[in-house]
Structures are given as structure tokens and as C-alpha cells.
Amino acid sequence: MQIGNKNFNFNSGKSVVMGILNVTPDSFSDGGKFFNIDDMLRQAEQMAKDGVDIFDVGGESTRPGGAPVSGEEERERVLPAISELKKRFDIPISVDTYRAKTAEQALARGADLINDVWGLNHPDDKNHEMARIISKERCPIIIMHNRISIIPDELIEKKAEKGALSKYPSAYIEKIIDEQKFSIDIAKEAGVEDDKIIIDPGIGFAKSLDGNIHAMNNAEHFTSLGYPVLLGISRKSIIGKSLALSIDEREEATIALNIIGRMKGHHIFRVHDVKANRRALDMCDVILNDER
């Protein structure tokens, strides 16, 4: 897959590390630390030294209970960040947004990839403008699972009652995958090509703690759709709630979950601490790529 000026072969056995750059005052893990452009650039410089493959710039916190910002404010945060990153680094830039206008302007500034946490299906985007922009600009899109279910629970129950055959281990996993197919259909109907699509099962979004654990335990099934899979697990509440750890104590568990994801066939890992996760994933790659 071509992302910016880099070609990523997701079948090469090499993990791809995406570094989180939040230009927000209130993100759950590093809110405020890189709100200033100079601070953000210093963090980007460190990530580049540590082996980051893609920057992911976000201008609105998506943490549970986070205060929403206007599209104008989001753009005031991310657009200058994109411009400065493009001047200094030869590293592809992803923009974490669900707003079509932000995506359009970000791509015009030089962004290479859009990371849509609403999977092209935000309630305010009833005409699927985001999908149309992605198609028009022919840029890659990360489609994340996140919404109130569009598949009624009654339908799942009927499937179970009828003993419908499924290649998935549970109705819950099948439901997530069916909903991802719905978002992929939105993309394809707008003209987005298959080789521009990355999926994200959305750990931490629209799922209970038990649901997140079940999704991670069955993470290999998300590869069945045939697209590269991104895992965005870094420091999330699945760790905090499972182990009673504060946000700044979750790095070792983040690494453990990313290794599980890698061993279950995921390709891209969105992280705060690039160095630690890069080293762990590189070691995992060495073992998994052994063909002796």
C-alpha cells in the first residue's frame, strides 16, 4: 500500500509502528504535553529517532467523556502541525479525524492517510461526505469499528437459535465483523479502492470491558476481511480496568497486547511510546519470520 511516498508491504512480516501526536490539551494519555507546536515537533523528532513509520496527528480527544471541539478548532490545531511535520520529516502523516472538511484540508496540506474513528459512519455525516473525499483524493483510509450497533441483537439471537454456521467463534465477533463490512461497503460504494483500506477493530470503542477482552482474545478473526489491520490499544482502559493501573503505568501491558495482536496477524500498531513498542515488535517479527 502506498502511503505518501512510502510503500508498505503488509505481507513482509515487518510490523508497522504508528506514533501518536496529540495536539490537544485533554487527550487521555498525553493531553497538553504536545499541544504547543514546538513540543509536538520535539516529540516527533524523538519518534523518528526511535523508528516510527507513520505519524498520527489528532486535534480532538476521543477519550470517553472528552469535550468535543468544533471542526474549526480541530483544523486550527492539526493543519499547522501537518505543515511543520512535512517541512522536517520524510515520514507519512495520518490525521485522526471523522470530519470530512478537516480531512479534505489536511490532505491539501500534505497529509497522506486519514484515520476515521467513526468508520465513515459518523451520525453527522449522513451523506457519507468523508467517503467521497477519500475516493476523490485516492488516499488510504483507516476504517475503525465504532458506533451504536446497526445489527439488531434480535437478529444475532435468531442466528444463534437457528444454529447458523459461522466461521467466527461467537455472535459478538461476527457482529463486529458484519458492522465493519457495512463501513467497508460505504467506502467501496463511494469508489474507494481495496488497496486503500485499512481496518481497525476499535478496541476501547463501543465495547464493554468484557467485549474488549473478547475482541482481543479473538483478534485473528479481524484479518478474515482481507485488509491490513491496525491495533490501537496503547494505554487504554482495557488495561486500566483489568489491572487497576493508572494511565502512566500501562506501557508494559500495552506492549503485551501489541505482541498478542502481532501474533494474531495484525499489521500496524498505534502507540505512544515508539521505542519500547518498536523493539518489542521487532523481536516478535524475528521469531515469527524464522523459516529455518
Distance, CA of 280 to CA of 253 (rounded, Å): 12
Report how far apart, in Å, the C-alpha atoms of 34 and of each of 40, 115, 128, 197, 215 are.
4, 19, 31, 29, 31
Q: What is the pLDDT of residue 281?
A: 98
For each of the domains in the chain, give its residue range(s) and CATH number, in order of start.
15-287 (3.20.20.20)
3-state helix, strand, coil in the chain (%, to 5): 45, 15, 40
Provide Rg for the chain, Cα atoms: 18
Q: What is the mean pLDDT of each run of 10 residues along the chain (292 residues)?
A: 96 96 67 68 97 96 72 94 96 97 97 97 92 97 81 55 70 93 96 98 94 96 97 97 96 98 98 98 97 75
- 88, with CB counted inside 10 A (0-12, 13-18, 19+), is exposed
In order of 55, 66, 72, the CA distances from 61 in angstroms are 16, 6, 15
Give whole-number Cα distances, 18 to 54, 207, 235, in Å: 5, 23, 14
Q: Which grid cell is 16?
A: 508497522
pLDDT of residue 68: 78
- Of 77, 109, 270, 278, catalytic: 270
Question: Over the range 49-80, which residues count as b (16 or more CB within 10 Å of their CB) and which as e?
Answer: ebebbbbbbbbbbbbeeeeebebeebbebbbe
Query: What's the pTM?
Result: 0.90
Beta partners for 115? Answer: 96, 142
pLDDT recorded at residue 165: 57
Q: Does 250 participate in catalysis according to the annotation?
A: no
pLDDT, position 28: 46
Active-site residue (options: 75, 99, 109, 236): 236
Give, as one character, the DSSP assignment of residue 229: B
> Is 14 among the residues known to form the active site?
no
Pairwise CA distance, residues 135 & 81, whole Å = 24
